[in-house]
């Protein structure tokens, strides 16, 4: 982040007509955005929400409450404007990009093989990077992929340790038998890939999925372009978990839009060193919590830009 | 709330293209708004934020980090558009009404007399009711009044019991000596008014202030008109505490916009049975947290109104 812009934004916050610190995280958000945009007065005129969709080979094991065909049906719904993310992206003033990644070709079943070969994983990373253009002032990421809380739990357990059960939750709503199947499938995958190289790329391609690798690619490209990113729920955070376990500073340009009701998310946010902006019991994915958080970020920037200073307003700043 | 509209909104939520409950509190908000607006598809086209300002006799005891003159200076700042609430009301698409209540005539010092006589308290209640017009689809309330966290703590302690120290916090930023003065001043006031009639009106006029009584009047008028209300921080909640202690259902048409950093607020929200939408460490007042929460409420209504149903989108709703 730009040190001069950070300092200028902090100085401005101290002069605005309010007790110091009284806008809480809104002040921190304004300073964070200033640092990454490289300007004392950050704005969101060009923001994008990128939603990546992929299918997973392991869903044959019965780990989701919905059939795999729903991934493609929901992409059609996104394109027709009928999903939650359509309403939320509109409400937040974000350009919505939907990227469906080879939906007719699910990843390999990670209990028997790496989910992706190297070329497939690189192609997905590249597809993610491709939606991040230099003009953007903020990027939010999201996903659609029936079964992908299972991949997210596997990535989290491989990256940060802990028992599989601690990382597993109901996802879209599986019952307790489904939960037990999730745990078993993930334990099998972790055992299979146990002695694989511990690099972030290997973890991502073996245990991730195309939509998950695309998110990682988008977050990395945004970092290169110094574009602030708003992460969504458990899956978007798991997408960067393999890298964050090795390079914790990868989250420096990221905000956690919300804390999902999926139980692994709060644990993962702690490992990533991120404190969520919202906690509203959401667990939809689709980038829904990230897009919602943009309204809070916009409000933070509005106060930062529009408020008068004590001097401008002629208000006494202390007893 | 309207039972038919509630039922229709709940039924619609169950048909939208998402796993049931996956939008968390956004679903509850849509149903709540439907009930109070009396329609299955609630909207916010006409929303208002009402900010009431008043001065307090007890500030002579040195309970605030700012001089009492700041109340009037900030009202001037509101009117000039330079305060946080101006930016936040704009960002939330809310009409902003500022009502300054006899700023040149502070309330009586509540350590030696009731803060207001009956006519003064009634006039303030009436001023609050006066800004609530039947056309509104949502109302948010806020306040400005140097010293008023002291009045809020006194109202809370009188209404719900507990030690004064549990209700007292730094407000705009007093030091530990200031905190001790706040506790002493409130204990003196509670002792003086100990044997007064325990009616909500008597508590409000003895320990409240004009801006606080005005908030109570606005919340009551909104209830009469079935207009949903978003409360802000500690002071707006304390304004209804005397009534809520006797009639808990008074909060049924209210949402808690946020949880303030002022430590009494989380305790008071529990007594009021309200769960805050946001928790961002804000402690500014001015209705800032309530206005910010309207962006979340708007997003909730956008998903409720715009999303396709499973049938419309041709998406399988289960395995």
Closest CA to B218 of B101, B301, B60, B117: B101
Q: Hunting for tokens 């003064």 — which residue is that? A: B120
Contact B290, B236 (CB under 8 A): yes
In a domain, B33, yes or no: no
Mean pLDDT (chain B, rounded): 96
Does any domain span residue A296? yes
A87, A292, A307: residue with CB nearest B296: A292
Cβ(B215)–Cβ(B130) below 8 Å:
no
CA distance B292 to chain A (A): 7
- What's the rounded Cα separation, in Å, for the pair A184 and B80? 63
Portion of chain A with pLDDT greater than 90, in percent: 96
Chain A positions touching B88 (Cβ under 8 A) are 299, 302-303
* Interchain CB distance below 8 Å, A296 and B278: yes
Does A24 fall in a domain?
Answer: no
Calpha distance A238→B98 (Å, rounded): 46
Contact A90, B302 (CB under 8 A): yes
Integer distance in angstroms from the first to the last C-alpha of chain A?
Answer: 36
Q: What is the pLDDT of residues B153-188, one digit of tens each?
A: 999 999 999 999 999 998 888 899 999 999 999 999
Cβ-Cβ contacts under 8 Å, B24 against chain A: 261, 280-283
**Which residues in chain B have their CB less than 8 angstroms from residue A281's CB?**
24-25
Percentage above 90 pLDDT, chain B: 96
For residue B3, pLDDT beyond 70: yes
pLDDT for the residue numbered A317: 74
**Which residue among A83, A173, A261 sits closest to B24, beta carbon to beta carbon?**
A261
Interface test with B, best of A299, A312, A314 (most B CBs within 10 A): A299
Task: Give me the mean pLDDT over the B277-292 stretch.
Answer: 98
Q: Report the distance separating Cα B10 and Cα A51, nearest Å.
A: 28
Rounded (5°) CA angle B186-B248-B277: 85
Residue B316 has its nearest CB partner, among A66, A284, A319, at: A66
Determine, for residues A73 and B315 on separate chains, whether the beta-carbon distance falls below 8 Å: yes
Is pLDDT of A319 > 60? no
Neighbours of A223 (CB within 10 A): 19
CA distance A306 to chain B (A): 6
- Higher-confidence residue: B312 or B319? B312
Residue B40 has pLDDT above 70, yes or no: yes
Q: Assess if residue B7 is contained within a domain.
A: no
* Chain B residues touching residue A311 (CB < 8 angstroms): none
Q: Inspect the interface and report whether the beta carbons of B316 and A281 lie closer than 8 Å.
A: no
Interval B197-224: pLDDT, tens: 999 999 999 999 999 999 999 999 999 9
pLDDT of residue B171: 86
Q: Which domain holds residue A86?
A: 44-301
Q: What is the CATH number of the domain that holds B105?
A: 3.40.50.10210
Arithmetic mean of pLDDT, B129-140: 98
Active-site residue list of A = 286
How high is the pLDDT of residue B318? 65
Indicate if the pLDDT at residue B121 is higher than 60: yes
pLDDT digits (tens, 9 = 90+) for A283-294: 999 999 999 999
Residues written for chain A? 319
Interface contact B299-A88, CB threshold 8 A = yes
B314 within domain boundaries:
no
Q: Does residue B11 lie in a domain region? A: no
What integer is the mean pLDDT of B93-108? 98
pLDDT tens digits, one per residue of A70-122: 999 999 999 999 999 999 999 999 999 999 999 999 999 999 999 999 999 99
pLDDT for the residue B297: 98
Task: Report d(CA B36, CA B18) in Å as an integer.
Answer: 25
3-state SS class at A39: coil
Residues B85-99 have pLDDT tens digits of: 999 999 999 999 999
A-B contacts (CB, under 8 Å) = 201
ipTM: 0.96
Residue among A282, A284, A302 minimizing CB distance to B88? A302
Residue A173 banded pLDDT, cuts 50, 70, 90 = confident
Task: Give contacts of A83 with chain B, Cβ < 8 Å.
Answer: 17-18, 307-308, 313
Our count of domains for chain A comes to: 1
Does B280 contact A26 at a Cβ distance shorter than 8 Å?
yes
Distance CA A204, CA A242 (A): 7
Alpha helices by DSSP H, chain A: 3-15, 25-37, 69-80, 84-92, 118-130, 148-160, 164-167, 176-192, 200-207, 210-224, 234-246, 263-272, 288-306, 310-313
Residue B309 lies in a domain: no
Distance of residue B309 Cα from the nearest chain A Cα, in angstroms: 8
Residue A114 has a pLDDT of: 98
Mean pLDDT for all residues in chain A: 97
Residue B213, pLDDT score: 98
User: So which residues of B are the catalytic ones?
Assistant: 286
| Other Cβ atoms within 10 Å of B191 Cβ, number | 10
pLDDT digit string (tens) for A49-61?
999 999 999 999 9
The predicted-structure confidence for A121-144, as pLDDT tens digits, reads as follows 999 999 999 999 999 999 999 999
Option in A25, A65, A318 nearest B19 (CB)? A65
Predicted pLDDT of residue B172? 83
| A170 chain-B contacts, CB cut-off 8 A | none
pLDDT at position A1, please? 85
| Tokens coding B107 | 């309330």
Structural domain contains residue A59: yes
What's the whole-number mean pLDDT along residues B290-316? 96
pLDDT band at A14 (very low <50, low <70, confident <90, very high): very high
What separation in angstroms does the CA of B186 have from each of A105, B53, B112, B181, B189? 69, 21, 11, 9, 5
């Amino acid at each position: 982040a730009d040190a001069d812009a950070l300092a200028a934004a902090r100085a401005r916050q101290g002069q605005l007509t309010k007790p110091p610190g009284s806008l809480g995280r809104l002040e921190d958000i304004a300073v964070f955005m200033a640092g990454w945009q490289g300007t004392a007065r950050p704005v969101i005129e060009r923001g994008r929400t990128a939603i990546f969709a992929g299918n997973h080979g392991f869903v044959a094991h019965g780990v989701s409450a919905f059939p795999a065909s729903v991934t493609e049906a929901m992409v059609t719904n996104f394109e027709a404007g009928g999903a939650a993310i359509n309403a939320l992206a509109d409400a937040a003033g974000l350009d919505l990009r939907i990227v469906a990644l080879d939906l007719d070709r699910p990843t390999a079943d990670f209990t028997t093989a790496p989910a992706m070969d190297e070329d497939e994983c690189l192609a997905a990373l590249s597809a993610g990077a491709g939606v991040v253009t230099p003009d953007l002032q903020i990027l939010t990421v999201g996903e659609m992929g029936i079964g992908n809380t299972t991949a997210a739990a596997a990535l989290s357990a491989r990256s940060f340790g802990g028992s599989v059960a601690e990382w597993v939750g109901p996802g879209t709503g599986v019952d307790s038998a489904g939960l037990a199947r999730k745990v078993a499938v993930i334990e099998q995958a972790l055992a299979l890939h146990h002695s694989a190289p511990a690099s972030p790329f290997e973890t991502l391609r073996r245990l991730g999925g195309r939509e998950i690798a695309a998110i990682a690619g988008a977050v990395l490209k945004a970092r290169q372009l110094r574009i602030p990113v708003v992460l969504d729920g458990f899956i978007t955070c798991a997408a960067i978990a393999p890298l964050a376990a090795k390079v914790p500073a990868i989250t420096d340009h990221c905000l956690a839009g919300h804390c999902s009701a999926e139980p692994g998310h709060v644990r993962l946010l702690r490992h990533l060193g991120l404190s969520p902006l919202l906690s509203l019991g959401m667990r939809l994915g689709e980038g829904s919590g990230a897009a919602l958080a943009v309204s809070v970020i916009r409000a933070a920037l509005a106060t930062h830009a529009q408020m008068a200073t004590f001097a401008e307003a002629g208000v006494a700043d202390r007893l």
